[in-house]
């Protein structure tokens, strides 16, 4: 049996990736060092090897692509037409043809340049020929870049196609969109096809599997088909038409009697008559779905007549060879699941009968029957010889039956008490206890070797009520005490009330500002003051705040301004010497005096001594801190030394390892490696 597994097709690289793969492989596999002192024959062989190796890699890669993709003439017609519907077989064949042409061109280029390399007269000439050969090969690959990209898209789509075996037992579901095909498939298989209330939810073929009489059947859910001319149908509808035309399957044509799909029974009957040629020589069943909304008996005369005409057409396509005329028309509802299994069983049975009948009529079957001989024993006298069962076996069977009648099993008890889900078997009935009544007790429960019941107070509920009453009294006292400490505005003076209101307002503003900062991008690090665009922190604002507190702000503002001026003018002062050039004045004392005074006035930060103990570090004094630092350095010294030694350090720890330079070496082996 032929299996089509399109998931095994190798990935098709694009033009640039293709060239990078081949050239890097050539560089890694072939020798890369050549000297101009080599003999000319050696130079020719060096570059001929590179050209031949590159051509061989290109040939193998391209041939692998051609072999992996299926040939439309060699595969099953179903897959051939499906690929034509999805990808257009002309484009498909053209892309593979271009890949094949590129393979042949690269072989021709290699042959031509190898001939030229045989007569190369210098290192430069041979190298130029090699570069030209590889460049022309890469140019050929670049030109087929669009074909490679198209084949990669086809490969990805083919890998997502369902694995349909055209020769297996198949049930095919077809009909108008939104008539319940996918719902029926989800009921009888474990497939999970998307079901929605709008048309064309299913846009491709879906495959599920079901069992009937220990045989596996594949169920194919097809997209909906509309009643319109063949040339107007889109790709989604053509997938269904392809499956109907080429697969030997039992056809289930679904009808929506209620019309909730958006199409009337007249339109559905017209679709049936337009594609009935595809149903010839295949088991066909008309399935009337959604009978919970509209039963078949409640249809008007016109619609019922159309349904009966479809039923007669289905029986004609089979030559009326069904077990009964009702097998061609079945009703069901996927919502209530009424009749779902009957439709499945009827389709499987019809398909099985047809396959068996075809095998019986085939020439191969007649050839096999000629080889069989069924032996029928002839009676040698008039005496009857019935089956003989030993008496011991009969007695054992009778005894076993009597024991079963007198003994109730757990299953019998379960059925008597409501069945599974209602009756729960007791796991304590076989416990051996001193008193049989103890078996059904909720207690005793044992914990750490003690019976829990021994520690249970019989008046525990009364104790609980007392504790709750006591807790309520304490809570009431606590609330009364809290009321005394609450700040009441009535006892405050007008100034204190204003201060309290200001504090509350400030607190609300701080909370709001914090929330805004958390919710926006303002939670990033603080911006330096020179980038403060909003000018939040100014000397005028500081003056207003100090004035509101009753403090004179003049000295603080003056100090801030003097510091900002001194910070601006802190550049290195240079003087002009006697020759007019820019430089430091050497003989004048005024400049040095200025620098000294400015350096004395400037307050610079002094770094903290290394051994000084900072509060919170946990050291008693500086001596203990220095001792801890020294111990940490000594402990990490060996680790740091080992960490620097690795594979990437180009270090040979032992310069002359003994096992490489001692003992005998075999003849001709003088290299230490």
How sure is the predictor about 565, in pLDDT bands with cuts at 50, 70 and 90?
A: low
281 φψ region: left (φ > 0), alpha (ψ -120 to 50), beta (else)? left
Give dist(CA 212, CA 344) in Å, integer.
9
Helix extents (H) in 522-588? 539-548, 554-568
| Of 195-199, 305-309, 544-548, 557-561, the least confident | 195-199
Provide the pLDDT for residue 579: 44
Residues 6+ apart with CB under 8 A from 614: 608
Q: Can you list the positions of beta strands (E) in 450-570?
A: 450-451
Give dist(CA 184, CA 336) in Å, integer.
11
User: Exposed/middle/buried for 88, CB within 10 Å: 0-12, 13-18, 19+?
Assistant: exposed
Give dist(CA 19, CA 104) in Å, integer.
17
Q: Which residue has the tokens 């090969």?
A: 137
Residue 387 vs residue 23, higher pLDDT: 23
| Segment holding 308, helix H or strand E | helix 301-317
Residue 511 vs residue 322, higher pLDDT: 511
Residue 583 in this model has a pLDDT that exceeds 70: no
Task: Enumerate domains of the chain plus CATH numbers.
Answer: 6-157 (1.20.120.1190), 163-364 (3.40.50.300)
Provide the pLDDT for residue 105: 95
DSSP state of 333: B
Per DSSP bridges, beta strands 284-289 and 329-331 are: parallel
Residue 586 vs residue 619, higher pLDDT: 619
The gap from C-alpha 309 to its chain's centroid, in whole angstroms, comes to 49
| Segment holding 15, helix H or strand E | helix 15-29
Q: Do you find a cis peptide bond into 444, omega within 30 degrees of 0?
A: yes
Residue 36 in this model has a pLDDT that exceeds 70: yes
Per DSSP bridges, beta strands 215-221 and 250-256 are: unpaired
Per DSSP bridges, beta strands 446-447 and 329-331 are: unpaired
Instruction: Decide if 137 contacts 54 (C-beta within 8 A).
Output: yes
| Of 35-49, 191-205, 463-477, 541-555, the least confident | 191-205
Give dist(CA 353, CA 324) in Å, integer.
14
Phi, psi dihedral angles at 617 (to 5 degrees)? -80, -25
Residue 135 in this model has a pLDDT that exceeds 70: yes
Residue 479 vs residue 105, higher pLDDT: 105
Mean pLDDT of all residues belonging to the chain: 80
Angle at 656 between CA 652 and CA 659, to 5 degrees: 105
Residue 658 vs residue 637, higher pLDDT: 637
Give dist(CA 358, CA 419) in Å, integer.
47
| Segment holding 583, helix H or strand E | strand 582-583
Number of helices (H), then strands (E), in the chain: 21, 10
Provide the pLDDT for residue 605: 59
Provide the pLDDT for residue 628: 92
Burial 247-257, CB ≥16 within 10 A → b, else e: bbbbbbbbbbb
pLDDT in tens, 612-652: 888 878 888 899 999 999 998 888 787 677 665 555 555 55
Residue 223 in this model has a pLDDT that exceeds 80: yes
Give dist(CA 178, CA 255) in Å, integer.
10
What value does the mean pLDDT take over residues 242-246? Answer: 79
Residue 331's beta-bridge partner residues?
288
Residue 603 in this model has a pLDDT that exceeds 70: no
Provide the pLDDT for residue 168: 83
Residue 129 in this model has a pLDDT that exceeds 90: yes
Instruction: Decide if 234 contacts 204 (C-beta within 8 A).
Output: no
Give dist(CA 331, CA 347) in Å, integer.
13
Instruction: Decide if 113 contacts 132 (C-beta within 8 A).
Output: yes
| Of 100-114, 179-193, 250-264, 647-661, the least confident | 647-661
Q: Can you list the positions of beta strands (E) in 63-158?
A: none
% of the chain exceeding 70 in pLDDT: 80
Give dist(CA 132, CA 5) in Å, integer.
41
Provide the pLDDT for residue 589: 46
Residue 219's beta-bridge partner residues?
171, 208
How sure is the predictor about 580, in pLDDT bands with cuts at 50, 70 and 90?
A: very low
In Å, how far are 57, 142, 156, 200, 513 from 20, measured between CA atoms?
12, 12, 22, 44, 58
| Segment holding 365, helix H or strand E | helix 363-369
- Among the listed residues 254, 310, 322, the one whose alpha carbon sits nearest the alpha carbon of residue 287: 254
Most confident of 128-142, 213-227, 250-264: 128-142
| Of 469-478, 482-491, 613-622, the least confident | 482-491
Provide the pLDDT for residue 100: 94
Provide the pLDDT for residue 183: 87
The gap from C-alpha 344 to its chain's centroid, in whole angstroms, comes to 34
| Segment holding 211, helix H or strand E | strand 206-212
How sure is the predictor about 247, in pLDDT bands with cuts at 50, 70 and 90?
A: confident
pLDDT in tens, 362-410: 777 667 777 778 788 888 888 888 888 899 998 888 888 887 777 778 8
How sure is the predictor about 299, in pLDDT bands with cuts at 50, 70 and 90?
A: confident
Q: Which residue has the tokens 């109730």?
A: 408
Instruction: Decide if 183 contacts 206 (C-beta within 8 A).
Output: no
Residue 218 in this model has a pLDDT that exceeds 80: yes
Residue 194 in this model has a pLDDT that exceeds 50: yes
650 φψ region: left (φ > 0), alpha (ψ -120 to 50), beta (else)? left
Name the CA radius of gyration of the chain, rounded: 48
| Of 111-125, 302-316, 482-496, the least confident | 482-496
Residue 420's beta-bridge partner residues?
423
Give the chain's length.
673
Residue 587 in this model has a pLDDT that exceeds 50: no
pTM greater than 0.75 (yes/no): no
Phi, psi dihedral angles at 603 (to 5 degrees)? -100, 105
The gap from C-alpha 302 to its chain's centroid, in whole angstroms, comes to 52
Provide the pLDDT for residue 139: 94
- Among the listed residues 15, 54, 12, the one whose alpha carbon sits nearest the alpha carbon of residue 143: 15
């Amino acid at each position: 049996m032929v299996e089509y597994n399109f998931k095994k097709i190798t990935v098709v690289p694009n033009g640039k990736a293709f060239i990078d793969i081949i050239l890097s492989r050539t560089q890694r596999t072939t020798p890369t060092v050549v000297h101009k002192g080599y003999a000319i024959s050696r130079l020719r062989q060096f570059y001929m090897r590179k050209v031949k190796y590159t051509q061989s890699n290109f040939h193998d890669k391209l041939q692998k692509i051609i072999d992996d993709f299926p040939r439309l003439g060699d595969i099953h017609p179903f897959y051939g037409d499906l690929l034509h519907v999805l990808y257009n077989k002309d484009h498909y064949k053209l892309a593979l043809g271009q890949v094949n042409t590129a393979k042949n061109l690269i072989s021709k280029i290699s042959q031509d340049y190898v001939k030229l390399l045989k007569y190369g007269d210098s290192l430069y000439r041979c190298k130029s020929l090699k570069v030209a050969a590889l460049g022309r090969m890469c140019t050929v690959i670049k030109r087929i870049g669009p074909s490679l990209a198209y084949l990669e898209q086809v490969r990805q789509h083919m890998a997502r196609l369902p694995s349909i075996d055209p020769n297996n037992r198949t049930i095919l579901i077809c009909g108008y969109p939104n008539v319940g095909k996918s719902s029926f498939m989800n009921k009888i298989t474990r497939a999970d096809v998307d079901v929605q209330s709008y048309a064309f939810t299913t846009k491709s073929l879906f495959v599920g599997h079901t069992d009937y009489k220990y045989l596996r059947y594949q169920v194919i859910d097809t997209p909906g088909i509309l009643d319109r001319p063949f040339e107007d149908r889109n790709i989604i509808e053509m997938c269904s038409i392809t499956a109907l035309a080429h697969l030997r399957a039992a056809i289930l044509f679904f009808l929506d009697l209620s019309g909730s799909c958006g199409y009337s029974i007249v339109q559905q009957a017209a679709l049936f008559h337009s594609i009935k040629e595809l149903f010839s020589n295949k088991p066909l069943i008309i399935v009337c779905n959604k009978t919970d909304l509209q039963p078949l008996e409640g249809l008007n005369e016109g619609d019922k007549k159309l349904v009966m005409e479809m039923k007669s057409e289905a029986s004609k396509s089979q030559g009326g060879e069904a077990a009964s005329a009702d097998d061609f028309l079945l009703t069901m509802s996927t919502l209530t699941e009424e009749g779902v299994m009957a439709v499945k069983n009827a389709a499987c049975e019809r398909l099985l009968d047809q396959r068996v009948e075809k095998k019986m009529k085939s020439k191969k079957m007649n050839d096999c029957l000629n080889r069989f001989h069924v032996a029928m024993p002839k009676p040698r006298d008039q005496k009857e010889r019935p089956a003989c069962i030993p008496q011991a076996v009969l007695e054992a069977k009778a005894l076993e039956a009597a024991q079963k009648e007198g003994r109730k099993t757990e299953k019998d008890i379960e059925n008597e008490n409501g069945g599974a889900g209602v009756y729960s078997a007791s796991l304590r009935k076989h416990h051996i206890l001193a008193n049989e009544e103890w078996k059904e007790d909720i207690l005793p429960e044992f914990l750490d070797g003690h019976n829990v019941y021994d520690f249970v107070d019989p008046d525990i509920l009364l104790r609980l009520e007392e504790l709750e009453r006591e807790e309520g009294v304490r809570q009431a006292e606590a609330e009364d005490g809290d009321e005394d400490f609450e700040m009441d505005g009535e006892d405050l003076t007008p100034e204190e009330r204003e201060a309290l209101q200001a504090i509350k307002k400030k607190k609300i503003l701080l909370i709001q500002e914090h929330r805004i900062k958390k919710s926006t991008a303002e939670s990033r690090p603080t911006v330096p003051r020179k980038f403060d665009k909003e000018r939040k922190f100014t000397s005028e604002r500081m003056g207003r705040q100090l004035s509101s507190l009753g403090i004179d702000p003049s000295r603080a503002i003056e100090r801030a301004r003097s510091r900002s001026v001194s910070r601006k003018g802190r550049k290195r002062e240079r003087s002009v010497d006697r020759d007019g050039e820019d430089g430091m004045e050497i003989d004048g004392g005024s400049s040095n005096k200025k620098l000294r005074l400015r350096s004395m006035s400037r307050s610079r930060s002094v770094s903290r001594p290394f051994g000084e103990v900072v509060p919170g570090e946990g050291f008693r004094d500086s001596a203990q801190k220095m001792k801890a630092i020294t111990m940490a350095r000594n402990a990490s010294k060996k680790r740091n030394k080992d960490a620097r030694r690795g594979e990437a350090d180009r270090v040979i720890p032992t310069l002359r390892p003994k096992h490489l330079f001692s003992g005998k070496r075999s003849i001709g082996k003088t290299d230490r490696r």
